[in-house]
Amino acid sequence: MKITKSLQAWRDLRRDIDGSVGFVPTMGALHAGHAALIEQSVAENDVTVLSIYVNPTQFNNAEDLDNYPCTLEADLQLAKRLGVQHVLLPRYREIYPDGFRYRVEETEFSNTLCGAHRPGHFTGVLTVVMKLFNIVRPHRAYFGEKDFQQLTLIRDMVDAFFLDVDVIPVATVREEDGLALSSRNARLSQAARRKAPEFSRLLNDPRDDQSVARELTERGFAVDYVETKNGRRFGAVTMPCGTHDVRLIDNVAAG
Ligand code: PAF
């Protein structure tokens, strides 16, 4: 497995890659959800490229960015074990030579759900994914359904800009108790971790969105939204964990 930090060095390597390239973009702190993306890419492509880059432009909250978990050594071990051939660890100045003057902005769906609560978040996501697609030049790129709004916006961006990449959705991986895997789960207090599965359980509740939101609030979750759109119910909640809060998102097929 080759680890590359410089984009110039990567361009030279990319030129010599034959066959299909699968790409798994991440911000690190890899868990079994990422492993599922990597495994599918390894199974479907000749070469799998993993990027680990904590993208500052998608954080609208500086504290959230500062506290984003970093487990690089473990991430690299996992990637190697799963058969990744290339890991990219780019730096800010190479990803943003323009200082983020140029952006990819979607003007409708990105302003709803998570976008309504995290202004600018999806502009940061779409901009970095566009850059990474241009750098990696993958045939297929893998995204988890846990971030369903992100997945939809990226798929639509690929269509809108005629990008030559297949966006492959991968089902959400859950703990046995139903909690969707997320890098943020590591920051849950023990008490919050015990309570967190109530969130996904209530998203599956047949009552209407308002009733579910009310019940989550009664159970101590701070609810950003519970909203059914396009056949899915989306939710986001914040859980107080002593010194800090942890935000959880999830979505399920609406019955
Ligand atoms: O889902 C993520 O980890 C990030 O939003 C992504 C797609 C790697 C862009 O920074």
Q: Tens of pLDDT along 57-115?
A: 999 889 889 989 999 999 999 999 999 999 999 999 999 999 999 999 999 999 999 99
Q: In this structure, which CATH number among 3.30.1490.190, 2.60.40.1180, 3.40.50.620, 2.40.37.20 belongs to the domain 2-170?
A: 3.40.50.620
* Residue whose CA lies nearest to ligand 1 atom number 9: 125
The residue from 34, 117, 139, 244 that is catalytic is: 34
Question: Is the beta carbon of 182 within 6 A of some atom in ligand 1?
Answer: no
The CA 148 to ligand 1 mean position distance, Å, reads 12
The Å distance, Cα 183 to ligand 1 centre, comes to: 11
- The pLDDT of residue 127 is 99
Q: Is the CB of 55 under 6 A from ligand 1?
A: yes
Pocket flag, ligand 1, residue 37 (CB < 6 Å): no
> What does the pLDDT read at residue 10?
98
Nearest CA to ligand 1 atom 3: 26
Phi, psi of 212 (to 5 degrees): -65, -45
- CB neighbourhood size of 162 (10 A): 6
Question: Which pLDDT score, from 0 to 100, does residue 255 have?
Answer: 73
pLDDT at 201: 98
| Alpha carbon nearest to ligand 1 atom 6, residue | 26
**In contact, 32 and 165? CB cutoff 8 Å:** no
- Is 139 an active-site residue? no
Low-confidence ranges of the chain (pLDDT < 50): none
Q: How many helices (H) and strands (E) does the chain have?
A: 11, 9
Query: Residue written as tokens 């101590």?
Result: 220
Task: Name the residue ranges covered by the structural domains of the chain.
Answer: 2-170, 183-249
d(CA 67, CA 183): 11
